[in-house]
Structure 1
Amino acid sequence: MARDPLAAISTIATPQHQRIPGRTDQVLNNAGGYVFAKDTWTKLEDFLILGTTGGTYYVGEDKLTEQNAAVLFAAISEDGPRVVNLIVAVSTARPPRAPKPRPAVFALAAAFARGDLATRQAVKGALPLVVRTTDHLAMFVGYLKNLGGKASHSGSSLVVGRSLRAALASWFLRDEPDNVAFRACKAMQRKTPNGEAFSLRDALRIAHPKADTAQRRILFGWIAGNVSDDVARDELPAVDRFLTAKAVTTPAEAVRVITEAKVPWEFLPDAMLREPAVWEALVDTVGMTALIRNLARMTRIGALKPMGDATARAVARLTNGDALLRARIHPMDAWLAMRVYASGRTQRDPRAAVQEWKPVPAILDALEETYELSFGAVEPSGKRLLVAVDSSGSMDGGWYGGQVTAGGSTLGSPYEVGCAMAVMLARIEKGNVHVVDVDTSIRASKVTPRTNLREIASWEPSGGGTNLALPFDWARQEQLNVDGIVVFTDNETWAGRSHPAQSLTAYRKAVNPGARVVVATMTAAGHSIGDPNDPGVLNLVGVDASLPMVVNGFIRS
């Protein structure tokens, strides 16, 4: 009998290098497989969370940046106010969803530069919510020069109109005067992303905001240089503490104002923040989050050292379970801190020099205990989960150096980070989790709820191709009845005889019709194995403290 080519057409099992018949919303991924295209708004959200720094295994940083900028501009043309609302939602989420503010600030500048009147009005209200610090304001102004400025002899300059004045004025007017004073005191001078000098005084002169109270009038006058320090410190406590700190000239004086005047560390002169004795005093006074974030700095300058007194006090704070719960330190916060500290290296700004330190073993041990203790505040979902970690070749860091980063430090390869997330879920769910590795077959995972997170760094993915239909096929074959399936991947699947969405449908028919799926990806590549029309599938992107809680909530519901 002659071969019938029509018999090869199937909506039940379609090779991944072909589209599912009838699905026009599938696109080729970078590995040659068909996956579901994310719509403009999902792509934009991915960009706001992940940015494009570092690129991916398949796509370099410059190309990924170009692709995501095009998505942003298209979204602004389609619905600028919606873009602004999404920027605000990502930027103000608690716990934070985006590890870096630059993508959101860039997007807000683009919305102002390329948006219509309604969009610019939306930016005016959003600016103080997204652009929270002087550093952010310098970013916004720098990006705005590039996107909507005019050429000048020095490169580019702002086009100043009523809408820009109003937007910048909102930064100075939205919050209480003393809170604005606090931000102003933290940083009067910054540099734009292009390296140009930025002065808060210049921004105030452009905005020319109208003071609504005497206190705010004094603040504006002080920033502009028209009100004396004595007058300002009488009305604004933040200015008083700032001027007290500014007068410090020796480490001994700095220690005194820290312990007696309770001056925040951000107000101290930069020279003092390079002094070990100053940080030895600050170990006891900075907030828990600030302590965790400055461990690398304290180690680099010698305030934290093996068998040191400050080290012992830092360890005591990091292992105080009650204090960690009060500070709402999540296991993800602790894990991120541990990985950044253990890396021994950071470069927050591409223009800045690389900073290096030798991690103190006692601090690393303390951060592991911080991680352990922080689980006390996390409630399990009570659901059964299958977690599949993509262990294919593209998950090992890649030819383009596609490491997952945070705060300018490398957290590890996508595979390492995926395994760490699997450990965390297994620990949170108290044993109701089974973890597998997947490439072109299902492999046993080393992950258990008690896996030591340091040992994951030595693990390597199995390599080879990718078939992300396998977790669903395997669960069906094993009759593994789970409430949710979580996949950590870069979505570059291509090797299967059926699509993941088809295999999920088969699993639901055969085992659990209500099974939910979370696809967690760490690259802003614009596509996913998750069917966007399936309400039981959630596509996540990025590595942040909210990820385990989002998985928990989605599976629970």
Structure 2
Amino acid sequence: MDPSESTTNNHTLNSTGGGYPWEVSDKARLCRFLCFGSEGDMYTAREEGRVSLENAGALLSLLQEGRGSEVVEEIKRFTQDGRAVRLGPSLFALALCSQHSELKTRQAAFKALKEVCRDPAHLFSFIQYKKELKEGMKCGIWGRALRKAVSDWYNDQDAMSLAAAVTKCKQREGWSHQDLLRLSHAKPTRDAIALISKYVTKGWKEVQGAYADKENSEEVVRVLSYLEVVEKVKHSCDETEVVNLIEEHKLEREQLLTDHLKSKQVWRALLKEMPLHSVLKILGKMTSNKMLEPGSSETQIICDRLQSESALKKARIHPLSILLASENYKRGQGYQGKTRWEPDSCILKAMDSAFYKSFMNVEPVGKRVLVAVDVSTSLNSVVPGSAVSTAVAAAAVTMIFNRTEADTHVLAFSEGAVVPCSVSARMTIAEATAELVKIPSRSTDCTLPITWATDNGKSVDVFIILTNNPLWTLAASPVESLRKHRQASGANSKLVMCGLTSIGHAIADTEDRGLLSICGFDLGALSVIHNLAQDLI
């Protein structure tokens, strides 16, 4: 955020520090909206509600002020730099900009389309948001500008990447590639794109007839061969042939038939190249249907990949992703209760190893951090929507900051005092959890960690307070304590209040941009903390 937006004259905190709270500007609200779909000071984990105009007051205000180009630049930044917890709000905002009355804003939005919508699923969502925004306005959405932008999206793709994309993601949100190519009146600018367009709109037989006797370019020949493989696998009942095609052409699960996925040999071939994120999601299901059995080669493939530093680095797997998947796998059943499995000890060991190795993927915030765990109540409940206990979640957060930030303090606090807590960067997740749960329970006072830092002359940039209590039940608000710490330390201190079991209530109704509440916990919560620490929201 631009520090010039805040001045001491209107009692806001400027870039040199001080005790006044920050003003929550429209720009800040926009950035929160792009990050997690709400302009308020509360992030709710795993909440995937449909975005609407009701959530976008600041976005509308900025557009009315003629700052549409600025909005589009923020949308690009949040999507390209991986700042957005969810992509839906950015796609919604871009759709809104593309329909704004100001020509300059519309042009900027359509120009940004191919940068923001990196795959077909994004493009389909963008088009659907445009349709929803136009409903009730009694006018179409397929004007010249949208037709050109969609046509350019297809024409600017690498031909082989597009061939893979249209065969893996054929339709979403009620739209298909056939719809988009027809409605945009797309005119392919390269022979290979024309071939893919014909394949999507007319089918493989038409393509075969049209290109059989032609002298084709090298690029067209490559795309033709790839599409032939995709068609071949769709009609093959030969297990060996399917396996060979997967291994030779790196085909993915979405390009196969349901019957193919009943074969262990097919799964073994898929697992060699399957993205690790996808592997983590289906471990339980694959163990349940006996695709993964103790001592099998398929199980060994997965264990080797999970423990490969190069594979973890390439996939940029975050340790919290592995922890959440591991605790779910350990649980032995899906959330609906229908799928059950016996967790494999080798897979659990591999996931434990992967958890520690993946710390190399955590991007440090480069700030002075204090993580404080409220141990006034028992930490044996479960974080909503996960299989992770609040004790393990709290231990994981302390470890993530302890291991990746140069200046981190970890405190535990209970009734009336900060209590001794020897969680260190050298501990395992089990040791850190045990350290937190051994402290006796009493009542909660979330001002204690901030007061401790102030009294001990510790300047803190980001306070992260983790509590098992619902946020709205806390009697003492830490807002005043934060203000005093800012005054005493001269730091632009921020505070994240995280109610690990909360489901949607913030701790305080405040207009201080340095305060944020988190209800529940997931990987997105860490992104929100990172963005707040870096003045991005």
The TM-score, its normalising length taken from structure 2, stands at 0.73
Stretch moving more, 99-108 or 451-460: 451-460
1:240-279 alignment, distance < 5 Å:
240-273=228-261, 275-279=263-267
Partner of 1:215: 192
The reply to whether residue 312 of structure 1 matches residue 290 of structure 2 is no
Partner of 1:198: 175
Aligned equivalents of 1:110, 1:355: Cα separation in 2:
41
Asked if structure 2 preserves the Cα contact closer than 8 Å seen for 1:258 and 1:281, the reply is yes
Q: Which amino acid aligns with 2:73?
A: N
Aligned equivalents of 1:266, 1:411: Cα separation in 2:
28
Q: Which amino acid aligns with 2:454?
A: R
Aligned equivalents of 2:105, 2:481: Cα separation in 1:
39
Shift of 1:234: 3.0
Q: 1:111 to 1:174 in 2, by over 3 A?
A: same
The reply to whether residue 80 of structure 1 matches residue 68 of structure 2 is yes
1:338-417 alignment, distance < 5 Å:
338-339=326-327, 341=329, 356-358=339-341, 359-376=343-360, 385-389=369-373, 403=384, 410=386, 417=393
Aligned residues: 489
Asked if structure 2 preserves the Cα contact closer than 8 Å seen for 1:97 and 1:545, the reply is no
Asked if structure 1 preserves the Cα contact closer than 8 Å seen for 2:369 and 2:464, the reply is no
Asked if structure 2 preserves the Cα contact closer than 8 Å seen for 1:392 and 1:462, the reply is yes
Residue 410 of structure 1 aligns to a residue in which SS? coil
Aligned equivalents of 1:124, 1:85: Cα separation in 2:
12
Asked if structure 1 preserves the Cα contact closer than 8 Å seen for 2:374 and 2:465, the reply is yes
Partner of 2:486: 505
Aligned equivalents of 1:524, 1:161: Cα separation in 2:
43
Asked if structure 2 preserves the Cα contact closer than 8 Å seen for 1:56 and 1:402, the reply is no
Asked if structure 2 preserves the Cα contact closer than 8 Å seen for 1:390 and 1:488, the reply is yes
Q: 1:381 to 1:49 in 2, by over 3 A?
A: closer
1:214-266 per-residue CA deviation (whole Å, 9 max, x = no partner) reads 22222222222177343397351542442233233354432232234443344
Residue 283 of structure 1 aligns to a residue in which SS? helix
Asked if structure 2 preserves the Cα contact closer than 8 Å seen for 1:87 and 1:107, the reply is yes
Q: Which amino acid aligns with 2:410?
A: H
1:374-428 per-residue CA deviation (whole Å, 9 max, x = no partner) reads 23566878986432246789x999xxx994xxxxx63758886454222211123
Out of 165, 182, 193, the residue aligned to residue 147 of structure 2 is 165
Out of 202, 210, 221, the residue aligned to residue 234 of structure 1 is 221
Q: 1:396 to 1:198 in 2, by over 3 A?
A: farther
The reply to whether residue 70 of structure 1 matches residue 95 of structure 2 is no
Out of 435, 441, 448, the residue aligned to residue 411 of structure 2 is 435
The reply to whether residue 452 of structure 1 matches residue 429 of structure 2 is yes
Q: 1:151 to 1:268 in 2, by over 3 A?
A: farther
Aligned equivalents of 1:551, 1:100: Cα separation in 2:
13
Q: Which amino acid aligns with 2:484?
A: S
Aligned equivalents of 2:440, 2:151: Cα separation in 1:
51
Partner of 1:144: 130
- Gap runs ≥5 in structure 1: 1-20, 27-33, 348-352, 404-408
Aligned equivalents of 2:91, 2:442: Cα separation in 1:
37
- Gap runs ≥5 in structure 2: 1-7, 14-19, 213-219, 499-503
The reply to whether residue 426 of structure 1 matches residue 408 of structure 2 is no
Aligned equivalents of 1:211, 1:294: Cα separation in 2:
38
1:484-538 per-residue CA deviation (whole Å, 9 max, x = no partner) reads 4432469877624871442213441xxxx5x564544678979897954xxxx69
Residue 157 of structure 2 aligns to a residue in which SS? coil
Aligned equivalents of 1:66, 1:56: Cα separation in 2:
18
1:87-132 per-residue CA deviation (whole Å, 9 max, x = no partner) reads 2222222xx3334332322332233345632222222122223323
Residue 194 of structure 2 aligns to a residue in which SS? helix
Asked if structure 2 preserves the Cα contact closer than 8 Å seen for 1:188 and 1:199, the reply is yes
Aligned equivalents of 2:89, 2:365: Cα separation in 1:
32
Partner of 2:159: 177
Partner of 2:4: none
1:325-346 per-residue CA deviation (whole Å, 9 max, x = no partner) reads 4554443443454356556677
Aligned equivalents of 1:66, 1:49: Cα separation in 2:
16
The reply to whether residue 473 of structure 1 matches residue 443 of structure 2 is no
Residue 284 of structure 1 aligns to a residue in which SS? helix
Q: 1:325 to 1:498 in 2, by over 3 A?
A: closer
Higher strand share: 1
1:106-125 alignment, distance < 5 Å:
106-114=92-100, 116-125=102-111
Aligned equivalents of 1:101, 1:472: Cα separation in 2:
34
Asked if structure 1 preserves the Cα contact closer than 8 Å seen for 2:306 and 2:351, the reply is yes
Q: Which amino acid aligns with 1:505?
A: R
Asked if structure 2 preserves the Cα contact closer than 8 Å seen for 1:43 and 1:71, the reply is yes
Aligned equivalents of 1:461, 1:76: Cα separation in 2:
53
Q: 1:181 to 1:105 in 2, by over 3 A?
A: same
Shift of 1:72: 3.8
Q: 1:343 to 1:110 in 2, by over 3 A?
A: farther
1:508-547 alignment, distance < 5 Å:
508=489, 513=490, 515=491, 517-520=493-496, 532=513, 543-544=523-524, 547=527
The reply to whether residue 41 of structure 1 matches residue 27 of structure 2 is yes
1:263-320 per-residue CA deviation (whole Å, 9 max, x = no partner) reads 3344223442454442223222334444345434533543224443311221122112
Aligned equivalents of 1:76, 1:527: Cα separation in 2:
29
Q: 1:501 to 1:258 in 2, by over 3 A?
A: same
RMSD: 4.8
Q: 1:226 to 1:255 in 2, by over 3 A?
A: closer
Shift of 1:202: 0.9
Higher helix share: 2
1:1-80 alignment, distance < 5 Å:
38-51=24-37, 68-78=55-65, 79-80=67-68
Q: Which amino acid aligns with 2:202?
A: G
1:448-484 per-residue CA deviation (whole Å, 9 max, x = no partner) reads 43242698599699696664x432311232x254564
Aligned equivalents of 2:25, 2:190: Cα separation in 1:
46
Aligned equivalents of 2:245, 2:10: Cα separation in 1:
66
Residue 38 of structure 1 aligns to a residue in which SS? coil
